Structure 1
């Protein structure tokens, strides 16, 4: 039995096996588009906001 999933970027069908090395994406292009969206903070994982930036100058350095 072959499993087919939908590419998260372009919605093309992708076979979930060794013949699709970019799975769940259909191509390296779709994989890079998704990576760029994460880098641009278009995709986020929900969670509580941090009260203080960990890299701000107010954090004491050891």
Structure 2
């Protein structure tokens, strides 16, 4: 029995099996749209290493 999933790009139902060369996408078009989004950096993971309050501090000001 083939598992049916929604295409991450367009939402159409598509089989998730070795028979689908584009899995988890429904077509080559959807796969390329997703690749383009990654290449243009549309998908981003938020960087929380510098909280906003630290950005307001002057890095050259010495503590007294």
TM normalised by structure 2 equals: 0.66
CA RMSD of aligned residues (A): 1.7
Name segments (4+ residues, structure 1) moved above 4 Å: none
Larger fraction in helix: 2
Bigger-Rg structure (1/2): 2
TM normalised by structure 1 equals: 0.68
Structure 2 runs not aligned, ≥5 long = 50-64
Structure 1 runs not aligned, ≥5 long = 50-62
